[in-house]
Structures are given as C-alpha cells and as structure tokens.
Structure 1
Amino acid sequence: MNQLAKLPEILRAPVEMAWADILGAAGAAERRALESLLERVGFAEQLNTVLAGSRYVAESLRRRPWLLVQMATAGHLETPLREGALESELAELLARSDEDAAVVLRRFRQRQMLRIIWRDLNRLAPTLETTRDVSWLADACISLGLKHCAAELEAKHGQPRGRQSGEYQELVVLAMGKLGAHELNLSSDIDLIFTYPEGGSTDGERRSISNEEFFTRVGRALIALLDPVTAEGFVFRVDMRLRPYGESGSLVQSFAALEAYYQEQGRDWERYALIKARPVTGSIIHRRELMECLQPFVYRRYVDYSAIESLRSMKQLIVAEVRRRGLQSNVKLGSGGIREIEFIAQCFQLIRGGRDTSLQRRELSPVLAECAELGCLPEPVAKELQTAYLFLRDVEHGIQAWDDRQTQELPEDTTARAALAHCMGFPDYDVFLGELQRRRHDVAGHFAALIAEDEDSSPAPESEGLWSASCDPKQLTGLGFKDAERLAELLRGLFESRLTQTLQAEGRERLDRFMPLLLEACAECEHPDLALERALPLVSSVARRSAYLLLLIENPPALADLATLCGASPWIAEQLATRPALLDELLDRGSLYTAPEREVLQSELRQQLARLTVDDLEGHMDALRYFKASQVLRVAASELSGRLPLMKVSDKLSFIAEVCLEQVLALAWAQLSMRYGEPARDGTGRGFVVLAYGKLGGIELSYASDLDLVFIYDASSGGYTDGDRAIDNATFYMRLGQKMIHILETRMGLGQLYEIDMRLRPSGASGMLVSTLAAFEQYQQNEAWTWEHQALVRARPVAGDKALAYKVESLRRTILCEARDRGTLAREVVTMREKMRKHARVGAEDSELDLKQGFGGIVDIEFVVQYAVLAWASQEPSLADWSDNVRILEALALSGYLQKEQCQALVQAYLELRSATHQLALQQQSRSLPATQFATERSAVQLAWESLFADVVADKEEGIDTEPADDEDILGSAGKHKE
C-alpha cells in the first residue's frame, strides 16, 4: 500500500492489515475500483490516516467495501454538505426502500459517519463543520424518524387535534445540549425533551385517544427507532433525563405544562441547560411559540446577579467532581477541559443575556466573541479560550473516531495514542500531550478566575446590631454619622416596614447581609449622613428584586462607589433608585468614570440595537432608554469626580442626545417604510432633518434638559411612497415625526427617553408638525419674529439627511447674515428681555439671584450674544459659524465688534454660572442663590449689556408683536431655547 512511510511505524502494520481485510471482503469488481482509487492524488495518504485513526471506519468498510467506492466516486469525501441535503437524501431512501426504517436509518448513519470522519481526520473540514454535520445528521434522523412513527399511529388513531383550536397537533422535539447548539461530537448521545402545543384528542372515529397518550406512544416509538444497538449498530443514543422531573416525569408535556413547570419549579441548572435548547421538529409557528414561552425563564429581563450564587455552586461541584473522580485524563470533564470553557461562556449568558441579547446564542464560538465585544472577557482571553475549545474538540473527535464510543478519556493503548497524536498533527504522543496540557492549564486558570469564592462579607463588629428594630444611635455615632438619632429612626422605620417584613426568605436573608455592609460603606464617605439617607430609597426600590442587593454584596468596590455617588449627588441617588438596572454600571469603574466620545457612543448604541429586529419597537425603546440613562450616569460620575470640565460635560450630554436622535430617526424610518415603502425624493438620503434649538442646538445640554426640535423635510410635493400601502410624501413625513415623538416621549420602566418641545417650529403650536424646506425658508424670511431669529442663532441640524442638513445650515446662515437696523433690533431684544423678566418675576433689587433669569445672569449673556450675531453677521459672516455661546464670543473677540477683554469676561461669567447650575442640578437645588454671589461675573455681564443697549428706551406698554397674541404663548416659545 502507498504512502505508509508517512505513518508512525507503530501504525503501519495495523493499516496494512485493515486494507487487506477490506480488499479481501470485496468482490472482484469492487477490488479493482478500490485499488484504482489509490491512484488519485492524495487519496492513499488520506486513506492511511483514516484507517490509522478509526478502527470503526476500518470495520465498517470491511463489512461494506462498496461504501468507500460509492462515496469517493460521488465526490462526497471532498465536498462539504449543503443545509437540508441529508434530510432530502434520507427522505428519498425511506420512501423507496422496502427495508425496515430502523435498518435504513442505521445504514444511512454509517455512510454519513464515514464521510464525516474522513473529512475530520484529514482536516478537510474545520472543527465546527464536523460538529454541524453530525448535528444535521441527528436532525434528519429525528425529523424523518418522527414522521415515520407518527404516521403509523395516525393510521390507527387519527390525527391529534387541539381541544380549543381544533388544529392539527404535532410533537415538537426540543434538542438540548450540543445538539441544540449544532455542536454534536462524533459519538454523542442526544438529549431531548418531547412537547406538544395543546391538549385534546385524536380524530379517529373508532380508536380516539388523548393527545398526551398519542404523543407518549410516538415518543416511545421514536426512541425505540433510534436508540437500540442492533446488528446494524445504532442511530443515536437518546437521553430524556433533562425533561421536567427527570426520569420520574411524563415523557411528553404540553407547552402550557412545560411553561408552568419552569416558571414555578425550574431550577438554575435547568436555565443553564435550556440556553442551548433548539426545536428540531414542528412548524415554524409552533417552534417560535415554544421558544417564546421558555425565554423568560432562561433569560431574566435585566442583568441577573441572582445567578451568581448558583453558578458558584455549579463551579464548586465541577471542581469537586474532577478531584473525586480523578478526571484529569478526560478532555471534556477534567480540569481545563471542554466543560469549563462552556461554563465560562454560559455564565455570562445567564447573568447578562437578558439585557445583552447578543449573548442569547446557542453556539459557543459566537458567544465567546460577543463576550469580548461586550467587555465580559478581555479579547486575548476570549481568543485563547476559542482556540483551546477547537483544539479540545478535535482531540475529542480523535478519541471517539477510534471506536465510535462515547468517551472523552485519553487512550491508554499505545497504538491508539499514536493514532491520536498522528491525526492531531504531532510527531508522537508525548509532544501532543505537552501541547494539550499547556492549553488545558490556560483554560483552568481562566475558569478559576471566573467567579471568586464567596468571601466572608460579615459586617464589622461596630455595625453589628444596627440593622434591627433596636438600632442604637450611639453605634451610628461611633461609625462617624453626625445626625445619628434621625438616621436610626430611618433605619428602624425601614426594618419594621411592611415591605421588609413581607419579603420572601431569600430576599430577607440578602437584605440582612446587605444593610450592615451599606452602613460601613456610607461611613467611609465624605458625607456619610447624606450617603445613607439618599441610599435608603434605593434599598426600598430593590428589596423585592434582591439580585441587585446580591450584586452589591458580591462587589464591594461597586458598593463603595454607590455610597460615594449617593453622598455626592441626590440626583444620582434618585436615578439609581428609579432605574436600578443602572447598578450594573458600577461594576466597571473604568467605564463609570469615563464618558465616551461621540464615535464610541454611536458604535455602542448601534451594536446594542443591531441585536434587535426592526419590528421589536418596545425592545428598541427599552435599549435606547437604558443607553441614555447609563451614559448620563457616567457623565455625572465623571463630573463629580473632577474628571470632566463643564464644557466637556455639556459636550458629552449633547453627544448622547444626538446619537439617540439618530437611532430614533433610523428606527422610525425603518418601521414606516416597512409599512408604506419609502417616499419619492430626489437623490439618496431620507430627505429629512432634525433641527435642534436651545441647549442641544448650542451644544450646552444639561442633565434634565428637554429637547427643542424642529422637523424639516425636502421631497417631491406630489410624490407617494413606493410600498403596497402607498401614502403621499407629506403624510409619510408627518407620521415619521409623530413616530419619533412617540419613541422619545413614551413613559416606560426606565422613564422617557427625552421630553420634546416643538413650539419653536414655524407658527408655533398651531403650525405643521413637520415643515417642508420651502415653507421653513418662507416663514423665516417673511414671517418670523426677531425672537425667532434669536433662537436661530442657537440652532443646528443634529440628525438626518446630510445633504438636507447642509441646505438648512445654509439657510440659517443666510437669515442670520441679513442686514438689520441695529436700533430697531436693540429695542426688540430689550423689550423681549424685559417681558421675560416680568414673566419670571425677577427684579433688580431681589435678595436672591436667579442664575438664569436674574440681572447679569445666563439669559442676559445669551441675549448679548444673539443681538451681536444678528447685528453684525452681515458684515462678519464668521459670527454665524457657531451655535454655542462660547465660540460665538470667541469669534466676536476676533472680529473687534466687542472688546477682547469684554468677551473674555463674558465667557468666564457664562462658564461659572452654567457650572453652578450643573452643580445645583446634581444636588437637586433651585438655581437661586444669594444675590451677593457671582458679583464680579454679573457686573461684567451688566457692563456689556449697558454698552450695547444704553441708548435703548424700551416701551413697556408695547409688545413685540403687532397682531393679537398671548404673552404666555410667546414667552413659552421664545424662552424655551434658553432653558
């Protein structure tokens, strides 16, 4: 035989003997065909590898030599399978064969296993193709075997029908474990659960039986078809122990019974098992219905830290089992084996899969990649685990190919060891074993670091007994709290509250563990009293969702950050109390105190939303709200820690809003175009733009700002959408605006995304929700009031079509750069300012300073800037380049229209006043301060005001408008862009 020299010496004689046996069993024609195959390039070497590595294949070919000729001649050994090919082939065999189905299935498996092992041992197929092909083989055998069994029973008893629906019922086979994930190994058993949609009975006239009995018989028949070992071998070993109640439970259950079991009695290990569950039979509708009823049990809605304890227990059991059973030679169950890699991936799926839906995958490789993408695992670790996983799966296949036995134990036989090393590409077994041990050592290290052992989190002696009905204020004083009597009363109140007393045992135990730790964390803060007082509402809000308490118990640094942030800001404390899901952000201190740039925000949000389908509007709205809340929390934490200056804070908050608006527009567009098609328009793009005014327009957003928006579109006035349900362009864009407002403003569990104000659109609240570009231009040029042109100073496109945004920005510049009579302009600006002061009830002699509306306050600076742009942009167009006050003031300094020193003083005053408003917002205090504060800054503002408007005598009896209008309405709109 050719190419034997390439084999290790110990394997040459067995291969020669196996080939001689195959030729001896073949007829004359078959022998000639077999020998001619050796003349093919590379075939003899591949044959030697397979005969050396698989006694099972050698024996199969000795019994049926023609199989090799058939498979090689047809080209099946060289080409990968296409999806559905096995099912089609098996269906044809069953239809035209006179032999028993059990025989057909077993011979079909033998033929396919020859092809799969040949390709695997010769590395003609990558590892995951091998596991996929074995899984497809199992799917085909289960699916067509089930049809065969069901048809036989239906002939006797009729078809099963639903009691309520009257519809045809079918057995849905739920594949678990490796089969569910398309990761079956060469000699695996298959873990199955049998279920059916609805109770009822068969429609046979004479021998009707209940659906439960019918499907129980079908299930037993299917097991009997696949599992037994006969003279032809077996198809697949079937394991039903993962069904509800295990071996003592019913063989089949309805969807309703299955759902009830998991919701009422399901255990954490069953959640773990169901991660990979996949229906392999049944209609698409029934498969989807089944997975939808299982989903809430497997994946909690948000990050599930309650799983940590059970996962730690599972991990301890794994370690103990390895030690007790001496599993070091087992590449699956031993230390650093396949099971540990799977456990690492599935831990993150259970804990984070509810929120990070990209982790809701069955296959291990994509999950590891996603863990790296989400930051659950460092990318080098994820790659190392992936490489080790593929290596170990190849070793597993090499072990199982030897005798078609379900084992993962390294062989002890010298020949088998040599065969395994050769198939793995190593010169000898010792070299192979060294590489295997190295990889397993790496995996074991990552497994050991995954979930830390439960450290002693007992409270310090100083805090013992404080969480009780007899809380002693003296102990609180000893810990460093100031107002101990009041805090003790608050703690006793919470301890004795109905909420606490009615908690279930597990929740109460966690609360009792948590409270002393919280007291100690707050005592370490700069403001311990404030930290504790502000943290207690959070405790009340999460007491019944004790997984959050467990998160903080398990992560002392996160608890310390919680106490610090609560002590620093009641606003943050309130955000966490109303949105406990944000506690997840405390786990990564690096990201908590780092506010990303715009491009990073775009990427993060795109990735989160890409995992959702377009029609899942609620899922998108939830994801958007969490994204916004978590990113704003990061900005606030960064500001409080001194890592972000004011200008950067406003930039970051503005970026968050812009990124959210971009995605809201994309989502609304996708939903409407799916229904109506896309509107007729010239060129590419959506022909729609979001124009932001006020704080967002000026890139000066604050924590609680709403968004002042105007929607503009530019498309053919007579055009229609191109969908089956066509509507005119104007209607499409109006509905687009309505859909965006719905997505932004609807209150959900995480609140609103943003509150939207549209009153700055042409004609205010009475105008069209969405304006055409032409209508917007006509209004701005012919009808807009001076205060509307003031508002335009702080306007900029923030989302939508770039080409249209350029047109809108050009129109803005044109309007702002028009020549104006400065005297008339000054009178109108001063008159509007006095109206606003009167409306806000602010006087020059007030003992308190309103940072926004007071004399020398923020609005005065804004009016100075807006007047300057409208007065001088016709001579100095660069004044219209920017929409934010600071850069406009810098441009004014360069232009010479205001003195450089004066502009610098205004910039300094503006930043100081705005910084104060930010700090007051985080402290949830009003923006009024003693009038003596910021005297220097306010004086600089008033000097600038007087230098511009000293000669203006405002007529207090006359309004800006010449038509009847409601001052409240005007001021509501005109003032919004300065909120």
Structure 2
Amino acid sequence: MTTAGQLVRVGFVDGASALERLAALGEPGADLVPVLAQAADPDLALHGLLRLVEALDDDEAGSGGAMLRELATDGDAADRLVRVLGASQALAQHLARHPQQWRELKDPTLATTRPPAFAVRSGLMRAVGADPWAAVPIATLADAEAVDALRVEYRRVLLRLAARDLAHDVGLDDAAAEISDLAAGTLDAALAVARARVGETATCARLAVVAMGKCGGHELNYISDVDVIFVFEPAEGHDDAGDGGNGTALRAATQLASQLMQVCSDHTAEGTIWPVDANLRPEGSRGPLVRTLASHQGYYEKWAKTWEFQALLKARPVAGDMDLGQQYVQMIAPMVWSAAERDGFVGDVQAMRRRVLDNIPKDQAERQLKLGSGGLRDVEFAVQLLQLVHGRADTSLRGGATLSALAALTRGGYVGRRDGEALAQAYAFLRRLEHRIQLFALRRSHVVPEDEPSLRRLGRSLGLMSDPAAALEKEWRHHRREVRRLHEKLFYRPLLGAVAKLPGPDARLSLQAAEERLAALGYADPKAALRHLEALTSGVSRTSDIQRTLLPVLLEWFADAPDPDAGLWGFRRISESLGRTPWYLTMLRDEGQVAQRLATILGTSRYATDLLEREPRGVKMLGESLEPLSAEALLTEMSAVAGRHDDAEDAVRAVRAVRRRELLRIAAGELVEGTDIEVVGRGLTRLTDATLQATLDIAMEAVRAQRGLAEAPTRIAVVAMGRYGGFELSYGSDADVMFVHDPVEGAEAQVAASFAQAVIGEIRRLLALPATDPPLEVDADLRPEGKGGPMVRTLESYAAYYAKWSHVWEFQALLRADPVVGDEGVRARFIELIDPLRFPVDGLSDDDIVEVRRIKARVDDERLPRGADPHTHLKLGRGGLADVEWTVQLLQMRHAGRVEGLRTTQTLPALEAAVKADLITAEDAATLAEAWRLVSRVRNAVTLVRGKAADQLPRDARERAAVANVLGYAPGSTDGMLNDYLRATRRAHGVVERVFWDE
C-alpha cells in the first residue's frame, strides 16, 4: 500500500493530499504513481489529471474512467499526458475545456515524427473554414467562431508539440522550428479570417507577411511576439484604380494587415495567441503599416540604420503571397550582406548593444535569461555580428537560426571548435529553460523565478531530479558564466589566432578576415592592431601566455572605448615596459577591476596614457582608492623623498615623480569614477601647493648653502592667483602666482632682496628641468607692473604700489589671491594688506564699474583666437568660463565690503553667497553654476582626451566622442553632449547679459 511518505520520496510535495487524490482516481491511481513521479510537478500533474477526469465525465463523448483504463495500458500516452500536466498549467486548463484532445497524445508517431509545415497550415486553415489549397484562402466560419476555432486548433498543435518536447526530448532546433511553423500557419489562417472581414476590397491587393526575428529564423519560443513586416502590391487588374493607382490597394492591404494582427492578439473565451509586432518596419510605429516593394527598397537604400539590416538578417516569407514575400527577401539580401561596409556600422552596432542593456528592468537584471549578462542576447548578438562581418564573402554563414549559424561559423574557422561547441551547449540550455518558463502559463517571460516551487518544477522538467531547485540555479549560473566568457572570446580570441600560434584547435582567421573583424569592431587601423597583437602574443614565454589570456577581454574593453587603436597601442607600450615585472600581468589577470580601468584609460585619454608610460608602475594605483590625497599627506611624502637626496635637482625630480603619480590618480578618478569637478579642482590645487612648498624648501636650502649663510635673511611666501587661487585648477592650467618676502629682523634689505630673487629663480629653474612629468608652469605675470616689474617684492613694496599706482583690474585679480605656500606670518600679513583693496567697504564707484565692463568688452573683442567658434570656446565663448567668472567677480567687488560671504576666492561659493544676500536670483545663480561646472568639466575632458590643454571643444568626431565619454554620456551621444553644452552656455549668456551688463 502506498503511503504519504513514499509519495514525498518519489517527488510529491504534499504527500497527504496526493494520497487522497490518488484514491479519488480509483484503482488506476496506484498504477500511475511511477508515471506521475517523472512529472516536473507531480502534485500539479495529479491535480490536472483529476480535472481532466471530471471534464471527461461531464462530456457526452467520453468518461474519465475510460481514459484512466486506457492510460493504464498505454504507458507512452500516460507519460506524455502527465508530463504536460505537470509542466504546463495553461495546457492543463486547455485540456479541461477540450478534454477529448487528450487522445492526441496517444498518437504513436509523436515520439519520432515532426509534422510537416504544410500539414500544420492545412489544419489551421480548415479550422477557420478556409480551403488550404485555394490561391487566396478565405475563412467561411462566422467571425467569432473562426477566431475561437483558430485558438483551439493552435492549442491542439501546441499540446502535441509540448508532449513531444517534454516526453521525448525532441531537441531545441526541432521544437523551435515546429513552433515557428505553427506561427506561420496561424498567420496564414488569421489572414484568411482578415480577408473575410475586409470583404470584396481584399482582392485589390496582394499581401505578403515576412517574419523577422526568431520566427523568421525558424527558432521561435513557445510564447513570443511574432515580428513581421507587411509587403503589398496592387492585385492584377487593380493597377489603375480610379483614385490614383495604389490608393485602393493600399487601403485594402492596410485593412488586411490590421485585421490579421487583431485576430491573433484579441482575447476571447479561448484566450489569446500572441501579439503580432510590426514595429520593425521602416520608420517603426510611425511609418505606414504596409509598403510596396519599391517603397521598401527606397527606404532601405536611403534611410535605414544598421540595426534594421541586422533585424532583416532573419527575414523569411511565411504567409500570404509567398512569391511577393520571396521578392522582398531577394531585394533586401544584397543590402543586408553589405551592411558592415556602411558608414557608422560600428556606432550602430554599439548602439544595438546598449539598447539590449537599457531594456533590462533594474529589478530583473540578476534574473534575466534573455537580456542580462551571459544571457541569450549575448549569444545572438555575437553570432549575428559575426555573420554580418564575414557573411559578405562567405555565403555559408547566411543561415537564420542562431545554432545553425554558429555551427557554420565554427566549420568555417571563424569560431574555435571547442568554443563553438561550448557556446552551442550553453545557448541550448538557456533556450530550453526559457521554453520551460514560458510553457507553464503560456506567457511571455524571460525572468528566472526565485521561489522554490517554481525552481523545483523547472529543474525537474529539465531532468534535474536530485535537489532540483539548487541544481537548476547552479546549472544556470554555470551557463551564464560560460556565455559571458565565450561572448568575449568569440570576437577576440580568433584574432589572436591570426597572428600567433595558439595551442589546441582554436580558429585561425585569415589576416584579411581578422582585419575585417577589427574594422567592424571600431579599430581604425586594423593592420596596425594586428601588428600589436602579434608583438604581444608571439613566443612561448609565460608573459605571452598570460597576454593571450588577457587580450580577448581587453580587446572588447578597448572596442567599447572611444579610441580602440590608442588603447591597444598604449597597452603594448606599457606591457613592453612592465611585461617582465612579476606583478604586472598577474595583477591584470587576477584583478578584473584594474584591467578594465586600464583599458578605459588607455582607450580614452592621451593625457593619462602619457602619465602611465612615464610611470608604468602607476598601474598598481588602479587597484587603490582614486580620491585625491590631502595637501598635508602630499607634502609629508614629498618632503620625505626630497630628504633622501643631497642634490637639489635630484630632490625636485623626486618631488615631481610624486606629483606625476598623483596627477595620474586624479585623472584616473575622473575617467573611471567620474570624480566631481570641484573635487578635481581642489585635488589639483592641493597637489600644486605641496609641489611648490616642497620646491620652495629645497630652493631656500640650496641658495642658503650656496651663499654660506647660517640662516635665510628673509621669509618668503607664494600667493596663488587666478584659478589656482580659486581652488579651480584644471589639468592644463599654469600656476599663476605672486612672490612676496619679508626680511628677518636685522637683515640688510639688499641682501634679503638678493636672496629672495635667487630663491625664486631657483624654484623656476628646478621646476623647468627636463623630466618625465607634465611641466608645472609658474606664471608670475599678474604681479605689479606685469612682466616689467620685479619678480618678488616686500610687503611694504606691495602696499606702496597698490596705494599709488594700481588699477581696478588689479583689485579684480586680487579677488583670487590666496597665499598658500611659504611663511605663515608673511601669508597672513599679505591677506591683511589686500582685503581692504579687493573688498572695498563702499564698493565700486560708477566709473570703476564702467571700467570693468570696458575691459571685459575688450577681452571679448580681442582675445578670442582667430577662427575660434564663439559658441564652443570654453574660456571666452558666450556663456563660457570668463562670462561666468567676470559676472561673479563684479558682484564681489561691488558688495563684498558689506557681505562677508562674498569674501572668497572661489566662484561657486561666491555665487551661493550672492543668492543669500539677494544680489542674484536662485534661478540665475543655478544657471551660471550649471554652465560653469559643465564648461570646466569639458575643459578637463578635452585635456584628458587630447593630452594637451585646449580651450575649444574639439571638432574631430572621435575626439568629441571621447570628450562625451569622459563626461559620462553613453557612446553615440555626442550630439546630446553638444546640445546640452550649447543649451547651458546660451542660458548662462542670457543671465550674464542681465546681471553683468545691465544692472
């Protein structure tokens, strides 16, 4: 006697309930236990069986008891039925509505025979009362009856397929092809219903239904949108319709297509089938639903994007006028197979990849079977791209189905044999899992469930009977990793095979095929790229072996960067410097974040690449925090490294090496972590502070020793000016400074002045020495009397000059004066000296305001370089840095004497203080701040990309794209970046016109 415990051991979850239900089946129940134990969900199967028995008992044509007795003597039929009931709640409900269809599962041919496509189509046609052999089949059943009959027949065929799939493991290709045949027949039968609805007008047009996507590729899911394109031509005898030729035919074809879509998607008492999606047509949902051949051709020749040709790769006529559909496919084929030669191919391919990722809902990202990392789209995208690249010359690669195309790519040597086989296995598993997920409720879903019962059912349906939920999770994650790994290798490892002898039977592309693939992936100079690959992978050393492991991944990251060629070339140079260093390649291999950061930097920034080449060991830093260090930490380190050298030049070179490393840290942080522009400005300013302080200390000691002095005769301070004083340095900024000294008590003025001049000269000499770091230009041109004045003055000399000779522009320059380096006492006294000058209690006179505006107008007229675009010049352009900063500085000079918050050297804090003092509206201040931040970020990005400072937004498309990338815009969004820039600066210029010029 069977017990509840025994039932649990063979797979039931609720043994007690199962025991009661088995008893309700009577004597045959016990005999069915071994069969039920093989179901995906034995409890669900038993429940469905009871419902079917009840439905048969209520049906005049049969009885449940008779079915149970037949099942007891027909083990194959019992197995098929139970497996369907245990895996598909939707089909169980269908059988409860149409119980006699269980007999479909007694057909002995189910185990071995896939029904011919014509037979499936004929059955669907007859279901709606149409003659399958008629030239133009028209449904004869009443409309509602035909629609319901179509659904019932559709489910009948699907029931047979599901039984074959679950009980006899028919294979993914066969199952997907059979579903595709079923979809094609359904479209033809729906078109027959549509013709009946449209009536006599339907004869005016020939209409072809061309399947795209999975249906076109003969690899449809159980439940999926069916992507189609409608092609029409006027029927014979309707070319000269009275309303202008195609008018009548166009209306007829549009009505037919619309009605076909409605027949398939409407919900009735028998449910629905699936949506017919025509959004892949020219112009998408905004374009006409139907077009003639000539109209399609004109669109594809002039307007189509690369992604549209990728979609057309699987196009196949499936319903309606098949001759017309075939003409369409023949017309588009040459365009599909030359798509890789089109301008913008790489950008369009990257955009397609982004669309895949963007379509993943955040709450599904980790469970997405289709769109997630290592999902079905990774395989399909990779295979399709390889087909587009290599199928131009090799017609054997032009198959529609993913697995067939992958097999052809493997046979042709475009994919390594082992990789091709592993990828095919992973893809087949993922597709089978997708089928099982969808089969349960016959709903379109690509998300792997998280609940235990669902995972258990899915695992058992795939043959994982021992701890099925855990086994399924393990198997799924394994295949996801394999897909992701192989997705990377699929493009890139065969490229290595073209230039290096790889172990094993990996594919070896011809050099020409390798060049084509590199070009398609965005490399502008494929021949040079292959030379770099050869240099990196040749030989049998451990270094070459690790490079061959790393490069497939790195090449993909380079391809995602704005300049793949620069990325690969930079990697070669750094590897040649560090390749034999034990930690270098090991770190890249074992720490993925470091390798990805390195690839991003090398493929984006010449500035950071130059720093890495000068300091290759900076690669280590990419595994650390990239936040800028404090001035105190920097000065401590610089003083320590300088103290190890007796020679001043060697000491400053050591200081500059620390500066070089920290420039790399700040640049890398902005490139890979998007460090905020204010943080970057403060970091660069503190780095300059520490460098000048360390160099001042070295110079003071060197001059003192040279002159044989026991003590320095004067105290020296360095006053930061301009953007340096405002904590707003960029990568290309000079260090604008003034030098001030104060003789010690008892020192002769002439001796002190001579000593100060010598120290300042030594600082400038040491910082100008040839070295491997970017130069730190110390610019003292803002000092009193400019270039004609003394390089260094005493405090008293500054006070005398400002009292007698200075102009309003010099007081404006002092707004950003910040004594940051040198003797603290001198620095404090200098602040006391200049504060009353730059923050006058009574503000500016009307004449001074006029003078400030006059100087600004002169700067606008005379300083903009010839040929520069005033809309995109970062410093002097409309709404650029100068516009914003002059506006803020005028507010400061007019009101800082009474508004303490305006007494700052920094632009954004001054703006905030102006808002609090009601000197500018919050909206206007926000507009100025937004433009200032954006232009400052662009200025930094231009330097990072080009490797040198520039004040003009690049005109070169690749450089402009790289700037957009540094700013955080998605690839392909260069126009969006430019539009944002122009919008922000235009609005800022409007505020400047009101606040600076009018008030």
TM-score scaled by length of structure 1: 0.44
